[in-house]
Every structure is written in structure tokens, then in C-alpha cells.
Amino acid sequence: MSGADTLQTFTIDLPDQDAALALAGAAEATLHRLEALTGASLVLRGLSLRLRGRPSQLERASGLVELLRPIWQEGQPVTQVDVQTALAALDTGRGAEHQQLGQQVLAKSQTGRLLRPRTLKQKSYVEAIERHDLTLALGPAGTGKTFLATVQAVRMLQERRVERLILTRPAVEAGERLGFLPGDLQQKVDPYLRPLYDALHTLLGQERTAALLEKNVIEVAPLAYMRGRTLADAFVILDEAQNTTTAQMRMVLTRLGENSRMVVTGDPTQIDLPSGQLSGLIEAAQVLEGVEGVAICRLTAADVVRHPLVQRLVTAYAARDANRLAPAGTRRMDGSHANRRPSSSDEQR
């Protein structure tokens, strides 16, 4: 039997019981997940994690455990998303960069969870917000665009780098009619702003959020309320910007005042504007490319940090959309049209 086929054993000592529980997961689900991904056996006994397998399996398994160390050694639970992003970094030779993610703690939630960027592109996004006065973030649902922007906004508010937070989004009717909702205008648009409130509650708690809203330190408002204002000493987040018109986007970008910062987020695949109308976000990303002081971050399905199924859903829809946009002769649903020879009518066209 060659050395490559010989089963070997490797042991990792864990610092305390909290770390052991965090790494193992409920009913040792995380260890079983690591076994399935690496082929190695992982057995936890007290504070010792015993890995057994062929050398290649051990190298892969121990590499994953070490990439996840910044999470589990703090007693923070290791999620499926954490495992998948660590595996992707390991497979692409970016393990050293990924390990830095665990050391970049942005804030602590009200439940005690440490909040970090969880993918390398999320890390670049957070750093772009720190360095630029205007950041555009484009990407599918679940990539943390709005949440990470809100984390950075709250940080800057607490550090007194800005005096107030302004969170806004367009109230575009995605198949529903605002007029049928009960209440005044503010009550009608509040459901559209719910994701922004949820992010604030995670970071500050409901009571603290309510107090800051009452004092106007935090303002959550529909985009229409931004017209004619100068937003100075503020951190501004424009969410769901794919549903802005080009005029609305130009209006809100030019509201930026002295000592202010703005983050514009949106998903170009979820545009609810009337058919044929250009999204202000897509135009802005084209017009502002290369402009000094502006960062444009593009997140992908690989950066989805919700349920792992969401990443697969985003990928499936992206493949469907790409197929629709492909020329008729190159569309591939079952491969039958990929190599179709052009007909005479095709050649005439």
C-alpha cells in the first residue's frame, strides 16, 4: 500500500467547551458536514478533535477546520455558509485571505453574535465603504448588501464620525397597489422599509432604535422625501436602488452634503419598473465607473449568506436568464440547439 493510501491520524486541541460545541454544531451536524466534504473521519472527544483519513483527506479536513478557527474558538456557531465559503477559499488557494475574515469583527448583535464579512467580496465591500464617499453594491438577494451597509452606518454613528443615519428606498409597487393599503402615506410605505428596520433592530435593539428614530438621529423614509434636501454629516443608504428611475438616482446622488457618505444597493435581476424603463442603478454603475471617490462592488451568487438553498436558487435563475438572452441558435436547455446549423433564412437575416 502506498503512502498516499495509508490512513493517518491528526489531532487538534480545542481551547474550551464552548469552542468544541461551536465547531461540532447541533448533534455534531457540522462535523458530519466536514466529513462529507473531505472524506476524513472527525471524532470529538472532550477537547480533542481527532481526524483520520488518507493524507490528502487530512490536509483538506485540517485546512477547513483551521480556516474556521476564528469563528469556533470564540464560541460562535459554525454555519453551513461558513463551511461553504471556507471550502471555496481553500479550493481556490485563497485560504490566507479567508482566514482574515474571522478576525474582522464589525459589530456584535443584540443576541451576542459577532458580525463579520463572510466572503472575500463582502470583505472588499466593507473596505470600500470605509474608503469611499459613495459605494454602489450590485448583487442578488442574500449577499448582505443592505445589512453590511447598515452595520457600517451604525459603527460610524457610534464612533461619532457622522451625526445621523438616513435610510431610504423607492416605494415601487411590485404587483400591488399602495392605495389599497390602510393608513396615511408613512404607514403605507413602512412595509417597504421593513428590511431596514430589521437590520437596525439586530444591531441596536428595538428600544434603542425607536429612541434614535424619535430623536431623528435615524431617519427611515421613502425616496420621494429626499428631494430638495442637502444631506450633510450623514450616512445615507439607498436600498432597492434597482427600482429608481434615472432621474431619481441623479436626484438622490446629488443630495450628498459635506462630511457625508452614501451606499447605494440593489439587485439588477429584480427590477419592478415598467417594462422598457432604464434602472437608475444600472445607469449609475455605468456612468460612475472610474470616477474618483466612487466604488462599485459587484457581488455574486457565491456571496449569498442566507440558507444554502438560496445560493442554488440564484444560480438557477441566473442560468435561465442567460439562456433567454442568448442568441436563438446558441440556447441550451437540453443541448439540442447548441450546434444547430443556420438555415437559409438565418443566413438572410
Sequence-ordered list of residues with C-beta below 8 angstroms from that of 191, at least 6 positions apart, any chain: 181
Select the more confidently predicted residue: 118 or 99. Answer: 118
Residue 220 confidence (pLDDT): 86
Q: Which three cell numbers stand for residue 158?
A: 457610534
Mean pLDDT of 316-345: 56
Side-chain-side CA neighbours of residue 132 (13 Å): 23
Closest CA to 261 of 111, 349, 157: 157
pLDDT in the model for residue 175:
39
Most confident of 309-313, 327-331, 335-339: 309-313
Residue labelled with grid coordinates 443584540: 110
Q: Are 12 and 51 in contact (CB under 8 A)?
A: yes
> Which of 59-73, 176-190, 229-243, 280-294 shows the lowest per-residue confidence on average (mean pLDDT)?
176-190
Does the pLDDT at position 85 exceed 50? yes
- Average pLDDT of 43-72? 93
Question: Is the predicted pLDDT of residue 186 greater than 70, yes or no?
Answer: no
Task: Grade residue 347 by pLDDT with cuts at 50, 70 and 90.
Answer: very low
* 3-class SS letters over the chain: CCHHHCCEEEEEECCCHHHHHHHHCHHHHHHHHHHHHHCCEEEEECCEEEEEECHHHHHHHHHHHHHCHHHHCCCCCCCHHHHHHHHHHHHCCCHHHHHHHHHCCCEECCCCCEECCCCHHHHHHHHHHHHCCEEEEECCCCCCHHHHHHHHHHHHHHCCCCCEEEEEECCCCCCCCHHHCCCCHHHHHHHHHHHHHHHHHHHHCHHHHHHHHHCCCEEEEEHHHHCCCCECCEEEEECCHHHCCHHHHHHHHCCECCCCEEEEEECCCCCCCCCCCCCHHHHHHHHCCCCCCEEEEECCHHHCCCCHHHHHHHHHHHHHHHHHHCCHHHCCCCCCCCCCCCCHHHHHC
φ, ψ for residue 82, nearest 5 deg? -60, -40
- In contact, 265 and 199? CB cutoff 8 Å: no
Q: Are 166 and 256 in contact (CB under 8 A)?
A: no
pLDDT average, residue stretch 2-29:
87
Q: What is the mean pLDDT of residues 22-44?
A: 93
Per cent of the chain over pLDDT 70 is 85
pLDDT (average), residues 107-112 = 85
Widest CA span of the chain, in angstroms?
78
**Whole-angstrom distance between the N-terminal and C-terminal Cα of the chain?**
64
Question: CB under 8 Å to 115, separation ≥6 — which residues?
Answer: 105, 106, 107, 108, 109, 151, 203
| Predicted confidence (pLDDT) per residue in 126-137, tens digit | 999 999 999 999
For position 17, what pLDDT does the model report? 94
Mean of pLDDT over the chain:
84
Q: How far is CA 185 from CA 159, 178, 179, 223, 324, in A?
A: 33, 9, 9, 13, 39
Q: Are 89 and 98 in contact (CB under 8 A)?
A: yes
In this model, does residue 178 exceed pLDDT 50?
no
Instruction: Give the model's pLDDT for residue 189.
Output: 60
pLDDT at position 345: 40
Confidence bin at 93 (pLDDT 50/70/90): confident
Output the pLDDT for position 250. 94
pLDDT-derived band at 340 (thresholds 50, 70, 90) equals: very low
Of 207-211, 274-278, 293-297, 342-346, the poorest mean pLDDT is in: 342-346
- pTM value is 0.77
Residue 257 has pLDDT above 50, yes or no: yes
In the chain, the percentage of residues whose pLDDT exceeds 90 is 52
What local confidence, expressed as pLDDT, does residue 88 receive? 86
**pLDDT in the model for residue 174:** 40
- Where does the pLDDT of residue 183 fall: very low under 50, low under 70, confident under 90, or very high at 90 and above? low
